């Protein structure tokens, strides 16, 4: 299977393994069309569920990841076999060659007509054989081109080609969900070959500013979110996204180490202005990441397992940090 086929398989696998929070999110989006018809208490319950689901999605980004790519297997994949022209019109050809008019054909002078009919069947059979061959050959050309591209990319990946890493990540598009949540990603391959993802977090646009809950009466309660709670959600979301990006990179690349640097608008104390600066920089090692129970971790607490820079206070939120220096790490490969 080529990497495009692998990609389709991964996407199908991801759909099958989709988190309940995402399935519920889509169900709630469908229900939104019926919102105007709901009674007031139903609307209140719906709004609370949408709020709670949104928070759950934000804090569980790290729980999903694509399948690990086996580049050595792709490099050794079998070359697609070129199709040959299969002749299925033999029966019609034999019928024409062995045709002998019977008594009625001679009596009513049908021999010429019957020979023409048999000849048409032969020609139609040959045309159908050719059509099937042309279709099969066209499919083979595409499959062979994909196979050749796949092998070429796999060879470059295994040899540590820097551009190949970016090409592979672009081919698999692993960050679609994170982009949908409001985070943009820039990829850098450092001189050592270490891949760093710079993740632009738009926390103030993603984290809700209000808390929604139901009163005992069933009515909706909407309150401003305390700054400490907002900051905690922001931290967990940033760390959850960072873990997800690290997992996706390590699933695609054969490297044992990748870096993720998250940026957001924070106060630059030297200028007094809000600027997009690093708020988290972390080096994810494959062995450590694989050892974690990702369904049970607290994303923020999980950073303690890795070399990282992060400055955070519940009352103040993130402060700018210095991104890790890629030159201080030795790149290893799986």
- Per-10-residue mean pLDDT, the chain, length 334: 52 51 65 62 87 92 92 92 73 63 63 67 74 87 92 94 95 83 86 94 86 92 95 95 96 96 86 89 97 96 97 94 92 66
**Does residue 154 fall inside a structural domain?**
no
Helix, strand, coil percentages, rounded to 5, for the chain: 55, 20, 25
Q: How many CB atoms lie within 10 A of CB 160?
A: 15
Separation CA 7–CA 127 (nearest Å) = 36
Collapsing DSSP to helix, strand or coil, 5 comes out as helix
**Does residue 102 fall inside a structural domain?**
no
**Does residue 127 fall inside a structural domain?**
no
**Does residue 107 fall inside a structural domain?**
no
**Does residue 252 fall inside a structural domain?**
yes
Query: What are the residues whose beta carbons fall under 8 Å from the beta carbon of 130, sequence distance 6 or more?
Result: 85
Q: From the centroid of its chain, how far is CA 252?
A: 11
Contact 196, 186 (CB under 8 A): no
Rg (CA), the chain: 31
**Does residue 115 fall inside a structural domain?**
no
Contact 262, 318 (CB under 8 A): no
Please report the pLDDT score of residue 279 as a whole number: 96
* Number of independent structural domains in the chain: 1
Range of the domain at 53: 3-66+174-328
Separation CA 127–CA 53 (nearest Å) = 59
Q: Which residue has the tokens 């080609």?
A: 161
Burial 278-308 (b: 16+ CB within 10 A, else e): bbbbbbbbbeebeeeebeebebbebbeebbb
Contact 28, 50 (CB under 8 A): yes
**Does residue 193 fall inside a structural domain?**
yes
Please report the pLDDT score of residue 144 as a whole number: 93
Separation CA 57–CA 272 (nearest Å) = 33
**Does residue 185 fall inside a structural domain?**
yes
Please report the pLDDT score of residue 180 as a whole number: 72
Helix and strand totals (H; E) in the chain: 13, 8
- The total number of residues shown for the chain amounts to 334
Please report the pLDDT score of residue 43 as a whole number: 82
């Amino acid at each position: 299977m080529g990497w495009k086929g692998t990609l389709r398989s991964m996407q199908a696998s991801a759909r099958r393994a989709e988190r309940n929070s995402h399935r519920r999110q889509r169900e709630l989006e469908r229900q939104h069309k019926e919102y105007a018809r709901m009674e007031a208490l139903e609307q209140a319950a719906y709004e609370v569920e949408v709020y709670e689901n949104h928070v759950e999605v934000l804090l569980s980004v790290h729980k999903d990841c694509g399948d690990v790519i086996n580049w050595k297997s792709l490099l050794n994949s079998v070359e697609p076999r070129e199709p040959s022209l299969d002749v299925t019109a033999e029966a019609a050809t034999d019928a024409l060659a062995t045709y002998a008019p019977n008594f009625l054909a001679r009596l009513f002078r049908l021999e010429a007509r019957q020979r023409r009919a048999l000849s048409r069947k032969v020609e139609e059979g040959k045309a159908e054989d050719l059509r099937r061959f042309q279709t099969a050959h066209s499919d083979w050309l595409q499959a062979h081109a994909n196979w050749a591209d796949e092998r070429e990319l796999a060879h470059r990946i295994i040899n540590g080609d820097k551009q190949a890493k970016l090409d592979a990540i672009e081919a698999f598009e692993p960050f679609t969900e994170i982009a949908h949540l409001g985070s943009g990603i820039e990829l850098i391959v450092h001189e050592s070959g270490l891949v760093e993802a710079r993740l632009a977090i738009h926390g103030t646009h993603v984290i809700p500013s209000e808390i929604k809950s139901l009163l005992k009466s069933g009515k909706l309660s909407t309150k401003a979110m305390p700054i400490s709670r907002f900051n905690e959600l922001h931290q967990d979301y940033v760390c959850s996204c960072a873990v997800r990006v690290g997992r996706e990179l390590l699933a695609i690349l054969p490297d044992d180490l990748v870096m993720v640097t998250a940026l957001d608008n924070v106060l630059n104390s030297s200028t007094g202005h809000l600027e997009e600066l690093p708020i988290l920089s972390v080096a994810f090692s494959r062995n450590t990441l694989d050892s974690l129970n990702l369904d049970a971790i607290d994303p923020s607490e999980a950073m303690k397992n890795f070399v990282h820079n992060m400055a955070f206070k519940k009352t103040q939120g993130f402060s700018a940090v210095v991104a890790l220096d890629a030159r201080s790490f030795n790149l290893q490969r799986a």
